């Protein structure tokens, strides 16, 4: 029988629920259990693909092309749980399905209501992940308890326990213990009230995970226990970590959360073997050296907008046993201030994915600076397109080179739309999405992967215009990776440069702390070499 753990959050958003869910997944997998993870998001967008990264952080893409919440990135980096379209459900998706059924007459004349029709649909999504080969399903509920839109989800997970048996379900609630500096105290009232809200719906949490700045004293645990109806040892402290988010699972393990879950859900007795994870965290804590990478983007102010990029860069640091410092640069700054100044002291330059014209000239200036200065350059998606435009303009002398995304009538459309994308009018879910094969021909990328064919995830509409491939190659920017079936350029490189590689896909989505992505690792290695050269 599959067990279920529901993770809810209270008091404030951004508590790191996704990270905690992923950490629990890791701990359970480290006990030899087969885990599935999903996130239920109460907003009405069908998926986050159309949302502004400034509001909602990066859009994370799965192998099957589903555009998902960035928390799914944590799930993939921490666990081996296979993720698919079933792993991120939104209210938009739920309502779409309910309304489809209503129009198709499937409700046989019933009045269609939130309870039971919407809640049934939610429960179906939860149950869909269970099965004979799954020991535990972790379901994270997005949003904060008390939000109007979260209500049907909480109602659904309350009912779910009755459906599958009390002994098979556990509720984990995450809250914040704010620290009042003036009187040097951590306050429990918001936690009490948040748990009160849950109990109003009929959910008594089994475990509380409390985010806090200071350690929770035994007295405080007793107080929380008394007011929230859990035992003191069921109050778990999740204090801000010193070095890295990858410490979180170890912090939870130290407090026995893994054993507590196993006991509550009567899971087999086992040791939680986190040795390799622990070793990885040690490398993170004690790097041999430091390099600095500039990430030049449009949504740079918000840490979450390029979440997977920053994580992949950190993993590359682990692979090279160095700390990678990231200098986050708003591309627009490079439109006014010379690149020599803004990028001074950086050992590598990375231009990540992006859309639209804002900051484009700054990105092109960053590419030029890296190309001419022999500074390792890594272009990802838009970062490849910028590299091609820069090369076409400044090396081939095509002043009118551009992407048709920003100039529909570009004189030299070096980046343009594929025929099939020209007809597309809907923005949601219509890009080139998901894992596709890339054949590596030669060069740095081929060497880094050590393989001829790789699968990498995509999320873009525009492509390198094949009409320019020859001229670009003649001048030194060669296509070194291709999608053979679609005849598309996937990787470009400058051989006559210490490290200049750009890819049309998103390698950051496949990097894990225990399996750093080879291209990121190779890029950071090149940055280290550059630093050593001085």
**Site residues (CB under 6 A) for ligand GLN?**
353-355, 381-382, 405, 459-462
Give the residue at shortest CB distance from ligand GLN.
353
Shortest Å, Cβ 355 to ligand GLN: 4
* Residue 363 or 530 having the CB closest to ligand GLN: 363
User: Of 4, 173, 369, 506, which residue is the catalytic one?
Assistant: 506
* Residue 1 or 486 having the CB closest to ligand GLN: 486
Shortest Å, Cβ 140 to ligand GLN: 25
Contact criterion met (CB below 8 Å) for 486 and 438: no
Q: Is 155 a catalytic residue?
A: no
Shortest Å, Cβ 524 to ligand GLN: 21
* Residue 57 or 353 having the CB closest to ligand GLN: 353
Q: Is the Cα dihedral 361, 364, 366, 372 positive or negative?
A: negative
∠ Cα 416 417 423 (to 5°):
155
* Residue 402 or 405 having the CB closest to ligand GLN: 405
* Residue 15 or 331 having the CB closest to ligand GLN: 331
Kindly give the interhelix angle for 151-164 and 189-201, rounded to the nearest 10 degrees.
60
User: Of 381, 390, 460, 490, which residue is the catalytic one?
Assistant: 381
User: Of 29, 234, 508, 517, which residue is the catalytic one?
Assistant: 508
Q: 347 preceded by cis ω (within 30°)?
A: no
* Residue 53 or 518 having the CB closest to ligand GLN: 53
Q: Is 381 a catalytic residue?
A: yes
Contact criterion met (CB below 8 Å) for 87 and 72: yes
Shortest Å, Cβ 409 to ligand GLN: 18
Nearest to 291 by CA among 333, 321, 312, 311: 321
Q: Is 508 a catalytic residue?
A: yes
Shortest Å, Cβ 353 to ligand GLN: 3
Helix segments in 81-188, DSSP class H: 91-103, 119-128, 151-164
Sort 101 into a burial class: Cβ within 10 Å, 0-12 / 13-18 / 19+: middle
> Which residues partner with 476 through β-bridges?
none
Shortest Å, Cβ 470 to ligand GLN: 22
Which residues neighbour 500 within 8 Å (Cβ) at sequence distance 6 or greater?
A: 370, 371, 376, 377, 387, 493, 494
Shortest Å, Cβ 356 to ligand GLN: 7
Q: Is the Cα dihedral 213, 219, 221, 223 positive or negative?
A: negative
* Residue 306 or 499 having the CB closest to ligand GLN: 306
d(CA 313, CA 292): 10
Name the one residue in this structure whose structure tokens are 């435009």: 389
Shortest Å, Cβ 448 to ligand GLN: 21
* Residue 40 or 502 having the CB closest to ligand GLN: 502
Q: Is the Cα dihedral 155, 42, 264, 206 positive or negative?
A: negative
Structure token digits, residue 324: 């990678």
> Do you know the residue count of the chain?
534
DSSP code at position 340: H
Write the DSSP assignment of 379-443 as a string of letters: EETHHHHHHHHHHHHHTS--TTEEETTT-TT-SEEEEEE-HHHHT----TT-SEEEEEEEEE-SH
What residues are annotated to the active site? 381, 506, 508
């Amino acid at each position: 029988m599959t067990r279920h753990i529901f993770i809810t959050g209270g008091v404030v958003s951004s508590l790191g629920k996704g990270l905690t869910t992923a950490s629990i997944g890791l701990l359970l997998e480290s006990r030899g259990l087969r885990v599935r993870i999903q996130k239920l998001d109460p907003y009405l967008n069908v998926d986050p693909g159309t949302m502004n990264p400034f509001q909602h952080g990066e859009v994370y893409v799965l192998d099957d092309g589903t555009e998902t919440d960035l928390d799914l990135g944590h799930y993939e980096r921490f666990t081996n749980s296979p993720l698919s379209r079933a792993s991120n459900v939104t209210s938009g998706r739920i309502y779409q399905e309910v309304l489809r059924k209503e129009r198709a007459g499937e409700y046989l004349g019933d009045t269609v209501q939130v309870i039971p029709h919407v809640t049934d649909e939610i429960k179906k999504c939860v149950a869909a992940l269970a099965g004979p080969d799954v020991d535990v399903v972790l379901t994270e509920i997005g949003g904060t308890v008390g939000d109007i839109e979260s209500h049907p989800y909480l109602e659904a997970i309350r009912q779910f326990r009755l459906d599958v048996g009390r002994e098979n379900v556990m509720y984990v609630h995450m809250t914040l213990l704010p620290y009042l500096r003036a009187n040097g105290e951590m306050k429990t009232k918001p936690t009490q009230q948040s748990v009160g809200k849950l109990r109003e719906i009929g959910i008594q949490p089994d475990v509380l995970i409390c985010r806090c700045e200071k350690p929770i004293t035994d007295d405080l645990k007793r107080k929380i226990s008394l007011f929230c109806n859990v035992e003191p040892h069921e109050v778990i402290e999740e204090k801000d970590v010193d070095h890295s988010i990858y410490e979180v699972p170890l912090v939870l393990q130290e407090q026995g959360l893994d054993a507590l879950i196993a006991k509550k859900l009567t899971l087999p007795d086992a040791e939680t073997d986190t040795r390799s994870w622990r070793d990885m965290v040690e490398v993170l804590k004690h790097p041999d050296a430091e390099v600095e990478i500039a990430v030049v983007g449009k949504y740079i102010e918000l840490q979450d907008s390029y979440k997977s990029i920053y994580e992949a860069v950190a993993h590359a640091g682990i692979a090279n046993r160095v700390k990678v410092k990231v200098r986050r640069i708003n591309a627009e700054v490079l439109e006014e201030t010379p690149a020599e100044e803004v990028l001074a002291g950086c050992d590598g330059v990375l231009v990540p994915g992006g859309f639209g014209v804002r900051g484009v000239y700054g990105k092109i200036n960053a590419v030029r600076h890296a190309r001419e200065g022999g500074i390792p350059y890594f272009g990802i998606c838009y970062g490849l397109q910028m590299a091609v435009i820069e090369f076409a303009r400044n090396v081939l002398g095509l002043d009118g080179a551009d992407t048709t995304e920003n100039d529909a009538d570009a004189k030299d459309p070096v980046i343009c739309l594929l025929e099939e994308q020209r007809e597309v009018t809907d923005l949601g879910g219509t890009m080139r999405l998901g894992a596709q094969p890339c054949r590596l021909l030669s060069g740095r990328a081929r060497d880094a992967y050590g393989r001829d064919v790789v699968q990498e995830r995509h999320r873009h509409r525009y492509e390198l215009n094949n009409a320019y491939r020859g001229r670009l190659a003649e001048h030194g920017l060669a296509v070194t990776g291709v999608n053979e079936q679609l005849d598309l350029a996937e990787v470009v490189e400058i051989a006559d440069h210490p490290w200049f590689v750009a890819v049309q896909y998103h390698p950051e989505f496949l990097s894990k702390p225990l399996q750093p992505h080879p291209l990121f690792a190779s890029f950071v290695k090149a940055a280290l070499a550059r630093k050593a050269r001085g």
